[in-house]
Amino acid sequence: MVKIGAWNIRGLNDPLKQKEVRSIIFSNEFSLMGVVETEVRFPNIQATVTNCFPKDWLWTDNFTNGPVARILLGWDKEVFSVHLEFNSEQMLVVKVELCQGNKSFLLSVVYGHNSIIDRRVLWQDLRAVHQSHLNSAWVQMGDFNTVRLSSSWV
């Protein structure tokens, strides 16, 4: 069975948090892992990725869209072939193909802005991705920083 996961780490610059990500990958036997709210600056990205992901994994980030990488995505290259489709400050979209079997799906790893106004771009981007991939299976994971329905607990 192939397993994928996502985690909002709230900062990934601490080596202990990097070790936690690595531990979660191994203990859950993940083949692909999205990490959001990483706040990793460019000079630290290679060391951070080396500490987080297994040595034979490949990875991508959304660093080109802001002062820090907010999203990291790592995968086992023996299990998946991953191709970047879209990259923004709030979302990475990749096409994921299983190396064994002829299966693929679209994957979005999201870290939405805290501000409602700033998140509007995320909703526009999601609609655009949907329109351009109408017939694709689509997995969305991460932290949208929004609540769909609210209720009060008594």
Summarised one tens digit per residue, pLDDT across range 57-76 is 999 999 988 889 999 999 99
In this predicted structure, what is the pLDDT of residue 147? 82
Percentage above 70 pLDDT, the chain = 98
Q: pLDDT per residue over 14-37, tens digit each? A: 999 999 999 999 999 999 999 999
DSSP code at position 2: -
Which whole number is the average pLDDT over 107-118?
96
Confidence band, pLDDT 50/70/90 cuts, at residue 1? confident
Residue 5 confidence (pLDDT): 98
> Which 3 state secondary structure label does DSSP give 143?
strand
Cα–Cα distances in Å, from 49 out to 53, 58, 153? Answer: 6, 9, 40
pLDDT of residue 3: 98
The amino acid sitting at 33 is M
> Tell me, what's the pLDDT at 136?
94
Phi and psi at 32, nearest 5°, equal -150, 135
What average pLDDT score do residues 127-145 get?
96
| 42 close to 61: Cβ distance less than 8 angstroms | no
CA atoms within 13 A on the CB side of 119: 12
* pLDDT value at residue 66: 83
Statement: residue 154 has pLDDT above 80? no
Q: Please give the pLDDT value at position 153.
A: 65
Give the angle subtended at the CA of 59 by the CAs of 110 and 17, to the nearest 5°: 70
For range 123-146, the mean pLDDT:
96
| Average pLDDT score over the chain | 95
- The residue whose two tokens read 């879209």 is 86
CA separation for the pair 154, 66 (Å, rounded): 41
Contacts with 65 (C-beta within 8 Å, 6 or more apart), sequence order: 87, 88, 89
What is the total residue count of the chain? Answer: 154
